[in-house]
């Protein structure tokens, strides 16, 4: 059983924003909605790192936990999707999400939120696959075409990897072994866990 994951290799991301553009183009998202963005840490300082971030499709998804209408669901593949017909635009998922994934097209008066929009892992939504409604609401359903998210597939440096967790981690493991460094990857460990013990030891040495 596939478990879909994104993984961004900070050693490789060159901040070209190709993934951001590809995503906008593929799904024709409304103006002001950014399903994916590239953040550069320590910009302009030696050791700067860029990370492409979108919905991380969490196993214990905060958005899902706080949604007052319970409009989120996990697919078989662990992709977090939501039903826009149910969404009331309250903004709770936006408060809860650590990655700033939920987006709102601000169409209403006083910045009133519309229906939430977020990265779907190119898996569409609850509408019938490849239907016009599905495309309008959620964008293209590439997963149902046997393809992977456009952002990862078109990444020029292959910094952003997406797909079955086993495959992705295998690719990354081989890569990290080959180059012998830079296993500090934008993935679940960074996002959720503390740094591994080995790294923390190094940090202490660096400080003393």
Out of 14, 28, 136, 147, the only residue in the binding site for another protein (CB under 8 A) is 147
Within 13 Å of residue 186, how many CA atoms lie on the same side as its CB? 25
- Quick one: tokens of 81? 């999707």
Task: Please state, in angstroms and rounded to a whole number, the distance separating the CA atoms of residues 52 and 71.
Answer: 26
Our finding on whether 132 is near another protein (CB under 8 A) is: no
- Quick one: tokens of 42? 């320590």
Our finding on whether 98 is near another protein (CB under 8 A) is: yes
Out of 23, 26, 27, 113, the only residue in the binding site for another protein (CB under 8 A) is 113
User: How do strand 72-74 and strand 80-82 relate by DSSP bridges?
Assistant: antiparallel
Q: Report 4-63 residues binding another protein (CB under 8 A).
A: 17, 20, 32, 34, 37-44, 46-47, 49, 51, 53, 58-62
Report the nearest approach of another protein to the CB of residue 58 (Å).
8
Our finding on whether 69 is near another protein (CB under 8 A) is: yes
Out of 96, 105, 107, 188, the only residue in the binding site for another protein (CB under 8 A) is 96
User: Which stretch of DSSP H or E encloses residue 64?
Assistant: helix 62-66
Out of 148, 150, 151, 187, the only residue in the binding site for another protein (CB under 8 A) is 148
User: How do strand 160-164 and strand 4-8 relate by DSSP bridges?
Assistant: antiparallel
Report the nearest approach of another protein to the CB of residue 83 (Å).
6
Instruction: State which residue, 22 or 67, has the beta carbon closest to another protein.
Output: 67
Our finding on whether 71 is near another protein (CB under 8 A) is: yes
Our finding on whether 73 is near another protein (CB under 8 A) is: yes
Q: Are 144 and 130 in contact (CB under 8 A)?
A: yes
**Concatenated DSSP letters for 114-162?**
-S-B---TTB--SSPTT-HHHHHHH--B-GGGT---HHHHT-TTS-EEE
Q: Report 154-183 residues binding another protein (CB under 8 A).
A: 155, 158, 161-164, 167-168, 171, 174-175, 178, 181-183
Out of 30, 99, 105, 188, the only residue in the binding site for another protein (CB under 8 A) is 99
Out of 18, 89, 139, 187, the only residue in the binding site for another protein (CB under 8 A) is 89
User: Which stretch of DSSP H or E encloses residue 39?
Assistant: strand 37-41
């Amino acid at each position: 059983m596939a478990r879909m994951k994104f993984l961004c290799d900070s050693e490789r991301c060159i901040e070209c924003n190709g993934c951001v553009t590809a995503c906008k183009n593929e799904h024709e998202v409304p103006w002001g909605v950014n399903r994916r963005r590239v953040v550069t840490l320590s910009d302009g300082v030696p050791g700067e790192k860029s990370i492409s971030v979108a919905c991380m499709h969490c196993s214990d998804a905060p958005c899902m936990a706080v949604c007052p209408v319970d409009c989120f669901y996990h697919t078989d593949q662990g992709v977090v999707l939501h039903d826009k017909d149910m969404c009331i635009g309250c903004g709770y998922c936006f408060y809860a999400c650590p990655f700033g994934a939920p987006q709102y097209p601000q169409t209403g008066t006083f910045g009133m939120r519309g229906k939430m929009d977020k990265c779907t892992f190119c898996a569409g939504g609850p509408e019938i696959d490849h239907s016009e409604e599905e495309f309008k609401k959620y964008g293209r359903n590439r997963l149902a075409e046997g393809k992977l998210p456009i952002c990862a597939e078109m990444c020029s440096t292959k910094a952003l990897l997406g797909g079955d967790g086993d495959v992705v981690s295998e690719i990354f493991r081989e890569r990290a072994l080959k180059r012998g460094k830079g296993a500090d990857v934008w993935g679940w460990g960074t996002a959720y866990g503390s740094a591994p013990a080995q790294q923390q030891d190094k940090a202490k040495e660096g400080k003393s």
